[in-house]
Structure 1
């Protein structure tokens, strides 16, 4: 009899596991369908092409400023760091001004990653954005490579770690300057602020300029994985290239997280999250019943931000919150 009970229990467990697997499989399929909902539209592809074109021109113009046309002289002058910094900063400001209302004007995988972390951009759309940015950077670098004489190309603007510092130090530098850039992006594009004035795109361009003025001697001042990826592909020079992806992305995510969840959290979301927990009579926190709350247990990551965005945020033609660089 005990054997029959054990066999029956084993069969029931097997059925339960099978059912759970089917439910999870269905949920995953549903999640993928939801994630990719809306990307097969004209507006979406217009936004993706805008990211491609903006990154193409940004890379082309920025790298162009690194070309030393006096390289053939007996004593060529050193690179003009102010010229390079201003060219990168003003280029990004111009591209944000031109394409910000179409795609949000990310023009930088680190900014796109920051938007995903703060739930301002879906992961599916972010993948297309990053691919477009990388292809745009390769195209821009390729065009510049073709039109530039070989005698003056030099290092062709490939970001390289200074021989006097370690790769770890370079990683920290890239993290810090990208943190400064992305924090500026979120601060100047915050729809909750009423004290903003002037041009957000110019402020972002100045942030890029400052980062370059500081970090060019250290790492070449990437602040943008796509900007480093373009010339690296064209010249096939990937030395320490991983640092120019990891550093900026970590810096961007850290800046976005601190701004959105610590320094300037959305009051609606903050109120909802506070309602998930409350103190019991003993003074300890315990999870409460949330039938009447906007957030259900286990679904904190599914907070509906679209209503808040529609209420407080300007949006581009793809439905994403307008943000830059």
Structure 2
């Protein structure tokens, strides 16, 4: 067990996830505070979170993949993109980064500016069920965008994944702020909740994002771009016994076979 844990641990990737989540939460929460200019606008908050994610994806994407979100890491685990051990360490790094970011920001501002300190909660008479549904839908669109914009098998011009993912976060906030303050990220919710001690409705911001992320993974891998690998290969990936280049080669073969199958069916119909 210890050997598997040590084999799946990469200090550079761990630090990348920790630092990226720390910076994302620090600047994102900062945009929600009530500064002297008045109550922050929805556009201000949405673009701060979106630009924060886009910047961090560009900065550490080549090091750790820039998940910056436990829901994203879990979706990639379900999709057999990363190992179980790697997922565990990534989530630990993300949670630590979020708490450090929230704690540091809390020390930098006075109590009258903090307000609700960006804690995610249902608002505008939204019920728990409605809040949960909103978080599922918003995280679904975010993770679907992540899977699509980082798919190495695409031959079309996809532009910049960092910009696409950042804009997907902006999109989620433009609606989600009115319902839940918009989380889509359990770590982002956990940081301020722990610092303020306010865990009311906190379960929504774990169950919602994780459910939406897993649904997006299943839709992309089984409906849009089938990712057909054997059970033994999937287990090798989850155990961390398959290298990145091997995983990529298996995915190429999988997509290629599905493409040939589709072409064959098309010819038969013609």
> What TM-score does the superposition give when structure 1 sets the normalisation length?
0.71
Q: Structure 1, residues 174-208: CA drift from partner, whole Å, max 9, x if none?
A: 00000000000000000110003321100000000
1:134–1:142 CA distance, 2 compared to 1 (3 A): same
Q: Which residue of 2 aligns with 1:69?
A: 35
Deviation at 1:97, TM superposition (A): 0.3
Match of 2:19 among 26, 33, 53: 53
In structure 1, the residue matched to 2:73 is: 112
What is the rounded CA distance, in whole Å, between the counterparts of 1:165 and 1:220 in structure 2? 11
Aligned residue for 2:264? none
1:68 to partner: Cα distance:
1.1
Deviation at 1:257, TM superposition (A): 1.2
For residues 153 and 189 of structure 2, the distance between their equivalents in structure 1, rounded to whole angstroms, comes to: 33
Q: Does 2:2 correspond to 1:36?
A: no
Once the two structures are TM-superposed, the CA of residue 250 in structure 1 deviates from its matched residue by: 0.4
SS at match of 2:103: helix
User: Which of the two has greater helix per residue?
Assistant: 2
1:168 maps to 129
211, 226, 231: which one aligns with 2:192: 231
Aligned match of 1:309: 248
Whole-angstrom distance in 2 between the partners of 1:69 and 1:37: 45
- TM superposition shift of 1:302: 3.3
1:244 maps onto 2:183 in alignment: no
Q: Which residue, 67, 74, 96 being the options, matches 1:135?
A: 96
1:156 Cα deviation from its structure 2 partner: 0.7
List gaps (5 residues or longer) in structure 2: 253-270
Whether contact under 8 Å (1:191, 1:312) holds in the other structure is no
Cα deviation for residue 37 of structure 1 reads 5.9
Question: What is the TM-score of this pair, normalised by structure 2?
Answer: 0.85
User: SS of 2:139's equivalent?
Assistant: helix
**Structure 1 gap segments, 5+ residues each:** 1-31, 71-75, 273-294, 314-325
**Any residues of structure 2 matched to 1:255-270 within 5 Å, and which?**
255-266=216-227, 269=228
Cα distance, 1:300–1:47 mapped onto 2, change above 3 Å: closer
d(CA) in 2 for partners of 1:299, 1:312: 14
**Aligned partner (choices 26, 47, 60) of residue 99 of structure 1:** 60
The residue that corresponds to 1:146 in the other structure is 107
